[in-house]
């Protein structure tokens, strides 16, 4: 039992993987955004524009919706979380194909490519969320969150869910391109169901029970709980969300392991 040497091996491998992911990340940033105009700043300017647009649209439509909840905060927390879980699968499906040439190197594995893209997407969505929050707070459209830690918790859980979903779909997408065809309509259909545009408490309780089976809803509710504090009555099932994340991660990792054996580098 030479556990120390095992740890050393593990540490060395982890370091290599870290370098690989970092390199892939940088490459991804450059190939995706280039160096012209604001370059990689598009990473979070893009989602920011999206969210701002949606926020303005919702503010106009629901200016007289009668709820006590500030509509800007409602739209921001809802739409940012949609961006978070929706963009990661978008980017991971078909991620292997353009990187096949890199697979020639032994240390570049499919999971690294996924990890790099996931980090990029999650980072972009997070930076855009934080920047928009700060900006809106600065111009007075928004109150600061009631409990930052709870917001972070909800955000991380949605990110975890999005990441495992993304890896799972990305790996499945290598086997059949049906995944790509189906994901787009499904992701749009999921948007109204994901809790971005409603509070669970406002639904009839018969519907509440079922809508909580959608994992994202639990995360969004958690974020809202953190953001609005006692202003809102939230419903979520943390155990269920965690269970979904863990099971999905297991499925994702097993699929990634499976495809990493089948891939033939060009």
The site for other proteins (CB under 8 A) is made up of 1-3, 5-7, 9-10, 12-14, 16-17, 20, 62, 65-69, 74, 106-107, 109, 111, 198-199, 201-206, 231-233, 243, 246-247, 249-250, 253-254, 256-257, 260-261
Helices (H) and strands (E) in the chain, counts: 9, 0
Nearer to other proteins, 35 or 261 (CB): 261
| Cα 33 to Cα 93: distance, rounded to the nearest angstrom | 19
Least separation, in Å, of the C-beta of 67 and other proteins? 4
Backbone dihedral region for residue 215 (phi beyond 0: left; psi -120 to 50: alpha; all else: beta): alpha
Stated length of the chain: 266
Min. distance of Cβ 230 from other proteins in angstroms?
A: 11
How many whole angstroms separate alpha carbon 80 and alpha carbon 103?
33
Choose between 131 and 249: whose C-beta lies nearer to other proteins.
Answer: 249
Judged on CB neighbours under 10 Å (0-12, 13-18, 19+), 37 is exposed
Residue closer to other proteins (CB basis): 216 or 244? 244
CA distance 139 to 260: 49
User: What distance in Å separates the CA atoms of residue 36 and residue 34, rounded to the nearest whole number?
Assistant: 6
- For other proteins, which is the closer residue by CB, 114 or 183? 114
Would you tell me how many other CB atoms lie within 10 Å of the CB of residue 189? 10
Q: Which is nearer to other proteins, 48 or 212 (CB)?
A: 212
Instruction: Write the DSSP symbol of residue 201.
Output: G
Calculate ∠ Cα 241-195-178, nearest 5°.
75
- Contact (CB, 8 A) for 266 and 231: no
Q: Which residues contact 144 (CB under 8 A, 6 or more apart)?
A: 137
Nearer to other proteins, 44 or 74 (CB): 74
Nearer to other proteins, 134 or 189 (CB): 189
Three-class HEC string of 147-188? CHHHHHHHHHHHHHHHHHHHHHHHHHHHHCCHHHHHHHHHHH
**CB 175, min distance to other proteins, A:** 17
Which of 74, 183 has the CB closer to other proteins?
74
Smallest distance, other proteins to C-beta of residue 259, A: 12
Least separation in angstroms between residue 149's CB and other proteins is 18
Least Å distance between CB 31 and other proteins? 22
What is the nearest approach in angstroms of other proteins to the Cβ of residue 128?
23
Other Cβ atoms closer than 10 A to 39? 12
Residue 7 Cβ, how far from other proteins at the closest point, in Å? 8
């Amino acid at each position: 039992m030479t556990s120390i040497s095992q740890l050393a091996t593990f540490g060395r491998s982890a370091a290599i993987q870290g370098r690989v992911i970092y390199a892939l990340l940088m490459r991804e940033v450059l190939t995706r955004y280039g160096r012209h105009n604001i370059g990689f700043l598009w990473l979070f300017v893009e989602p920011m524009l999206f969210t701002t647009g949606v926020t303005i649209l919702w503010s106009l439509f629901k200016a007289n919706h009668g709820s006590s909840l500030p509509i800007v905060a409602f739209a921001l927390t809802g739409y940012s979380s949609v961006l978070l879980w929706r963009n990661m699968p978008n980017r991971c499906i078909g991620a292997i194909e353009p990187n096949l040439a890199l697979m020639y190197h032994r240390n570049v594995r499919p999971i690294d490519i996924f990890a790099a893209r996931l980090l990029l997407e999650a980072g972009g969505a997070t930076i855009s969320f934080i920047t928009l929050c700060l900006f809106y707070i600065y111009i007075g459209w928004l109150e600061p969150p009631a409990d930052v830690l709870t917001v972070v918790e909800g955000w991380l859980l949605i990110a975890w869910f999005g990441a495992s979903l993304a890896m799972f779909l990305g790996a499945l997408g290598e086997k059949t391109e049906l995944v790509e065809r189906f994901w787009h309509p499904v992701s749009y259909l999921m948007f109204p169901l994901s809790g971005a545009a409603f509070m669970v408490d406002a639904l009839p309780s018969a519907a509440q029970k079922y809508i909580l089976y959608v994992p994202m809803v639990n995360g969004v509710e958690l974020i809202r709980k953190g953001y609005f504090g006692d202003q809102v009555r939230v419903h979520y099932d943390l155990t269920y969300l965690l269970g979904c994340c863990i099971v999905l991660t297991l499925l994702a990792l097993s699929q990634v392991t499976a495809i990493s054996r089948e891939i033939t580098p060009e």
